Structure 1
Amino acid sequence: MALYDLARGTTRGLIAVACRPTITGLENVPKEGPFIVAPNHLSFLDSVLIQTIMPRKVAFFAKAEYFTTKGIKGRFMKSFFTGVGSIPVERGEQAASVAALKSLLDILGSGNGVGIYPEGTRSRDGLLYRGRTGVGWLALTTGAPVIPVGLKGTEKLQPAGSNAIKPQHFSMVVGKPIYFDKTGPDHSLPARRAATDAIMDAIAALSGQPRAEGYNQSKSL
């Protein structure tokens, strides 16, 4: 916990000074028990921002190479991503797939928070894409409340294709919890689809993004 507190506290201070973000709705995060954070996805930095700002720890997937890179840079990345609560996942394994999602069940079962991007990967054109049903599967299987999040302006912090981070104002709106009846893993695909669509509607209302009709086809995490 000490490493987590240090990583989060340091990063939060840097974000507050450099970006002066507008944050609303943190009171909607349950004070105890499991919860699922479901944000839109505009930037590589979105996970770090959410993990830093949320009042409780949120576990997100991160590329495995962030934990296995050699040298000083590798040790720093491993310490940082471990510190903020990231979970390594192999490149090419979709974070929204049932196989990967099963690794989150233990975290929720322990009463903690996890984060998942229903779109699967970041939007490079500003549109909000159709949600993949992994988030619906996770919500129905566990009964954990889903916390929709709307991010605005985070794509300006690190434009697609750039390694440079540019301090910019952004906003994060945390919506009210969405509750689904716990059905276990044997629910139907239509039920999973309906739950996912309800979550995406809530994200759209918070982010204000125009909707895309289809899925985001990028394979990156």
Structure 2
Amino acid sequence: MFYWFLKFVALGPLLKVVFRPRAEGVEHVPTEGPAIIASNHLSYADWLFMPLVVPRRVSFVAKAEYFTSPGLKGWLQKTFFSGTGNIPIDRSGANAAAGALLSAKRVLDDGELFGIYPEGTRSHDGRLYRGKTGIARLALETGVPVVPVAVVGTDVVAPPGKKFGRWTRPRVRFGEPMDFSRYAGMENDRFILRAVTDEIMYEIMKLSGQEYVDVYAARAKSESRRGGPGGKGPQGDQGGDEQRKLAS
């Protein structure tokens, strides 16, 4: 109930009045049944504007610490993150990536929408980076469609490394659902996983108009801080906390 309260009463109407986000291709999001919503990741504001324009609830994974901290602050964190569609990473697997996969499967098994950022972290310079293959494994193991989506302008509203930026009208563009049933049973083939991931990233690139860089975002961000070849150097756009989603 808190999710819908924020979306339709407390937060959603305010965001719509102030920023007037534009949405294209929302009809490509299934009206029922499970689907993976695969998005680029420019800003912490992405998880506000993309679900805002989707009639259905979109769930993401978040660090378990947000749900287990003690005291009043911990309770407020848990209430906010669970109420805004986030679910804790299940770490009963071998690592956080396996735990995220388990959590994502549970959302999809319930017939809901699961949101994921294949880059694994926010882009520090506005470019689109190489996707992690966790999304391909999830798609092949569950057999659900993948809906590519591009969020544009959120890095202006909330630039990496800053809480506030400049006003603009964010745009959210959804592409047609992608069916990977032809690869059923091949989720352990690393070449298939890479091919599926690259196909998804190509669709996101077409929707976003971003320059594509065939390097993992976390590595490029690290090199950027050191002034290396993977980014624009310490004087360029950089920063932002990593939000790893289903790391490969």
Q: Same fold (TM over 0.5)?
A: yes
Residues of 2 paired with 1:102 and 1:75: CA distance? 24
- Cα deviation for residue 50 of structure 1 reads 2.1
Matched residues in 1 for 2:57 and 2:214: separation?
33
Question: What aligned pairs does 1:170-181 form with structure 2 within 5 A after superposition?
Answer: 170-181=170-181
Structure 1 residue 71: deviation in Å?
Answer: 6.0
Q: CA deviation at 1:6?
A: 0.5
Residue 107 of structure 1 is matched in structure 2 by: 107
In structure 2, the residue matched to 1:4 is: 3
Distance 1:211 1:124 in 2: 13
**Residue 140 (structure 1) shift:** 0.6
> Which residue of structure 2 aligns with residue 210 of structure 1?
211
Q: How does 1:120-135 map to 2 (within 5 A)?
A: 120-135=120-135
Measure the CA separation in 1 of the matches of 2:83 and 2:150.
Answer: 24
* Paired residue type of 1:6: F
Cα pair distance change 1:165/1:71, threshold 3 Å: farther
Note if 1:191 corresponds to 2:213.
no
Render the CA deviation track for 1:113-165: whole Å, top value 9, x for unaligned.
10111100000101100111011001111110001001111012222222346
Answer yes or no: is the 8 Å Cα contact 2:42–2:160 preserved in 1: no
Shift of 1:194: 1.1
CA contact (8 A) 1:8 1:83 kept: no
CA RMSD of aligned residues (A): 2.5
**2:163 is aligned with what amino acid?**
N
1:119–1:129 Cα contact (<8 Å) kept: yes
Q: Is the 8 Å Cα contact of residues 34 and 113 (structure 2) preserved in structure 1?
A: yes
Letter in 2 for 1:100: A
The 1:72–1:159 alpha-carbon spacing in structure 2 relative to 1, beyond 3 Å, is farther
Deviation at 1:63, TM superposition (A): 3.4
Unpaired segments ≥5 residues, structure 1: none
Confirm or deny: 8 A CA contact 2:87 2:103 kept in the other structure: no
Amino acid at match of 2:161: G
Alpha-carbon separation, structure 2, partners of 1:207 and 1:98: 29
Structure 2: segments with no counterpart, 5+ residues: 222-240, 244-248
Identity fraction in percent = 42
